[in-house]
Every structure is written in C-alpha cells, then in structure tokens.
Amino acid sequence: MHNNTTKYTALIKSEAKRLGFLSCGISKAGFLEEEAPRLERWLHKNNNGEMRYMENHFDKRLDPTLLVEGSKSVVSLLLNYYPSELQTEDSYKLSKYAYGNDYHHVIKHKLKSLLYFIQDEIGEVGGRAFVDSAPVLDKAWAAKSGLGWIGKHSNLLTQQVGSFYFIAELIIDLELDYDTPVTDHCGTCTACIDACPTEAITEPYVVDGSKCISYFTIELKENIPTEFKGQFNDWMFGCDICQDVCPWNRFSKSHNEPLFNPHPELLDMTKKDWEEITEDTFKKVFQKSAVKRTKFSGLERNIKFLK
C-alpha cells in the first residue's frame, strides 16, 4: 500500500472542521511516559477524593493500545461551548458547559460521524470514540497533539481561544501524520491559583480534586464538609472560577452549536427561583442537560449549602 498518510490526515482534519470541531490534533498511540509518574503521585495523595474510578484501569489510562487493540493514532478534538449569554447576576451559578444539552450525546454523535466518514473514505478502519467516558487522559493527549498546553489550573489552554471547550478523541488503527506539542504560555501568571476559593490548586499544575468546588457539587455523594461553608461563591453545579480569571479566556468566542443553547428559562432564574425550584421545573429545564447527574436532590443539597 502506498503512503497515503498525509492525504488521510488532511481529510480527517477537514471533516472535523466541517462537523463543527474547533480543532483537531493527532498523536501516535502509545504509552504516556511523562504522565505515568504524575498520575501515580496524584492518586497517591488521594487527590481524587471519592472518585475511586480514577484508580481503575491504571495501565489502560496510560496506554490506549491496551484500550483499543491495534490502535495507531489518537485523534484529539476540541469543541467550543462558550455561551453567548450568561446567567443573571442574582443567581446561583452553573458551569457554562452545563447550560445546554448534555455534551456526551452531542459530541458522541459528531465523533461517530467522523469515524463513519473515515471508514467510508479510507476503508477498513477500526476504532472507538471517547468523550470523557473511558479511562483516556484526554488533556494529556490533546496537549501531545499540539492543541494547547496544560495550564496551572490543569485545564488545557489554547492561544487565541482560551479553555472553554470539550475534549474528545477517536482512537483508531490507522497510521497518520503526527502533530507536536506547543509551548506553555502561562508564564509567571498565577491568576487561577490566587482566585480559587477552596485553594484546590495546591501548586502550579496540580489540582487537589477532593477540594475542588466542581467535585463537591457534582461528584461527592455525601454532605459537603461544613468547613467549606461560605467558600463556594454561589456555584451550585461545577465551577468556572479558574477559567473565568484566566487571561487567555479574554479570547473566548461564543459557540455556534444550537444544542448547547440553554433552556430559555435557565438564564433568567434568580436565587429565589432556584431556592424554590420544584422537581418538575428541574426536569423541564435540565431535561437533556448534564446537570441531571447530580439529580434534583443533589442540586437541592448544593443550594441549601449556599444559602
């Protein structure tokens, strides 16, 4: 077979753009050498809190070839979710990524389309689509593929774009041209570290997940520890503080994915509305949203904690 890798790479990238992805970067599938000791240290310090699932599949997390047999390439994709309008000032806050339809479904659909396109255009290509689902270290792969660098808040950051995007990947058994990482542009800035109210960013590039507001409001099943009372700055589902203060997010432009537009009632709800929310309203407003993960009872617990 003659070498078509460059042609195939260009084909995949242009289709990714057509499907609405912000950008697409590609890496050779293999063991993530630099990530291994980092992940080990992070887990060792219990920075995953109750998120025990982070400890499973340690080897698969670091090596996609164990996850998808015969895989040769990790195709990383970014999808913008920055909204055109924000919630009203007098409101308990939701992470911007949860305004619209659950991103898992929206992105999975696009990824499947991309995989079918590859199979139609190129032929027998095996692979799997991942959205935040299986043990894939998506930020590490995106950084390796040159889509950005990992910032001090441990999120992926991209010049001219910022960080308000989802990361997903296709792991496929097709050899392609590989991208190279970009340099870190955080410099001496410590805006995210200084702004985190629970001091979850324990040192540059290290986040103690068990102290993060997103963890408390979404992952934690028990009661939120009382010592954090008054530190949540009105965040009731997730938290965007470290991204909101990041200078690179001055470049955020609003997305153009209709499915990410919020339920019309969402943006106008005030604190009083949230405090009085019924299960019916919850179901209506969050019918297709990722907020369903915390369930009505979880959101209620978070709002009580903020009051």
Q: How far apart are alpha carbons 307 and 305 in whole angstroms?
A: 6
Phi/psi class of residue 27: alpha, beta or left (left: φ > 0; alpha: ψ in -120 to 50)? beta
Q: Name the strands in the sheet holding 165-172, side by side, starting at the edge strand that comes first in the sequence.
A: 23-28, 73-80, 165-172, 127-130
Domains belonging to the chain, first-starting first, are 5-83+99-172 (3.40.109), 191-306 (no CATH)
pLDDT value of position 39: 72
Taking the CB of residue 192, how many other CB atoms lie within 10 A of it?
Answer: 26
pLDDT in tens, the chain (307 residues): 447 999 999 999 999 999 999 999 999 998 887 777 777 776 677 666 666 666 666 677 788 888 888 999 999 999 999 999 999 999 999 999 999 999 999 999 999 999 999 999 999 999 999 887 666 789 999 999 999 999 999 999 999 999 999 999 999 999 999 999 999 999 999 999 999 999 999 999 989 988 999 999 998 888 999 999 999 999 999 999 999 999 999 999 999 999 999 988 999 999 999 999 999 999 999 989 999 888 999 999 999 999 9
Task: Please indicate whether residue 184 is annotated as part of the active site.
Answer: no
pLDDT tens profile 188-205: 999 999 999 999 999 999
Angle between helices 103-122 and 5-18 (to 10 degrees): 140
pTM above 0.85, yes or no: yes
Check 59, 63, 120, 132 and give the catalytic one: 132
Q: Beta 156-157 vs 23-28: how paired, if at all?
A: unpaired
CB contact burial 227-249 (16+ within 10 A = b; e otherwise): eeeeebeebbbbbbbbbebbebb
The residue type of 164 is: F
pLDDT tens profile 40-90: 776 677 666 666 666 666 677 788 888 888 999 999 999 999 999 999 999
